[in-house]
Amino acid sequence: MNLLLTRSSTGVYSAHRWGKVDTSGEKEISNSSRHVSVFLDEITAWLVTERSKTFVDGTVGYGGHSERLLEKAGNDVILIGIDRDEEALAYSRNRLARFGSRAILLKGDFVDVKQLLRNVDIPAIDGALFDLGVSSPQLDDSNRGFSFQEDGPLDMRMDQSTGTTAGELVNSLPESELADLIFQYGEERFSRRIARAIVRARERKALASTQELTMVIKESVPAAYRHGRIHCATRTFQALRIAVNRELDVLEPAIRDAVDMLRPGGRIAVISFHSLEDRIVKHTFRALAERPYPKVVVLTKRPQVPSEAECRENPRARSAKLRVAERLSKESVQ
């Protein structure tokens, strides 16, 4: 069994909407659909303190949280933003340019947060943020292959310069492993039927596009399921995306390493968008808070959820959950 199949997910995506491409080749957010990051006020309230000097945004994305943290913190505060997606980084570089050297953006995976910070001579931090949502600019770009709504290559990599594509998984995994992947990461009840249909289809011709895969899924499930509340390909696409990007496997080690980098009194905030993500965050925080040598105290005994007003403004925020922990002194034994 592939090591990627150790956890599952029901996945809900983060809220972004993308505008037109300008003449310089960079994308811009349209006024009618401007992105509002989830928990903007809550993140600054939890992370910005009088002694905050250095933040890391491990999933900087399109820069919403980073911009707000830099606005609310003092003028001597710096922020290191990390992301695997070069397109997102390019946008954030432009968005955060007004902060000059206070914003340092790095291409990388947040699971490598320790090494990335050391590479820029940052020995410790006062605040860390992981926003685990997947952005609509990624989902809406057909060339990325995340969505079944438009035709595109079966890619799904956050970092398109490396790694296995969704197409490679779909066309190479044994039927049993493919079924397990779809069930465990997508919680798809028809995973075995879908995997069987994919294997039969690829025996005739390798599946190369999102629409080819979507058609195979549609033809493999019952008619009632094809017309259900969610699109019948949603869970399979989600499962492939999670497997390709190892989204759940890297979460616990990334949180532990970020906590190790925190100064005493520093805080880590994690925004999740589905139950199994949140479960990993909860269990990791709980393990780090265990006596007799706790590293953190958990500040959110239950996850914080968006207000009704935020959900009205941003419907995709409804599934978001926020958990926060504070670093204790290294000598703590209580």
Query: Which domains does the chain carry?
Result: 3-10+140-245 (1.10.150.170), 36-132+267-327 (3.40.50.150)
Helices of type H across the chain: 40-47, 64-72, 86-95, 113-119, 136-140, 166-172, 175-186, 191-204, 210-220, 223-226, 234-245, 251-261, 275-288, 308-313
pLDDT band for position 330 (cuts 50, 70, 90): low
Residue carrying structure tokens 């002694």: 51
- HSE at residue 160, side-chain half, CA atoms within 13 A, is 14
pLDDT band for position 217 (cuts 50, 70, 90): very high
DSSP 57: E
pLDDT band for position 6 (cuts 50, 70, 90): very low
Cα separation, 284 vs 210, whole angstroms = 35
- Which pLDDT score, from 0 to 100, does residue 263 have? 97
Contacts of 209 (CB under 8 A, 6+ apart): 151, 152, 153, 154
pLDDT band for position 13 (cuts 50, 70, 90): very low
- Contact between 154 and 214 (Cβ < 8 Å): no
- Which pLDDT score, from 0 to 100, does residue 209 have? 97
Pick the range with the lowest mean pLDDT from 41-50, 83-92, 273-282.
Answer: 273-282
Task: Work out the number of other CB atoms within 10 angstroms of the CB of residue 131.
Answer: 25
Q: What is the mean pLDDT of residues 73-97?
A: 95
pLDDT digits (tens, 9 = 90+) for 35-48: 568 999 999 999 99
- Which pLDDT score, from 0 to 100, does residue 142 have? 87
Pick the range with the lowest mean pLDDT from 158-167, 209-218, 252-261.
Answer: 158-167
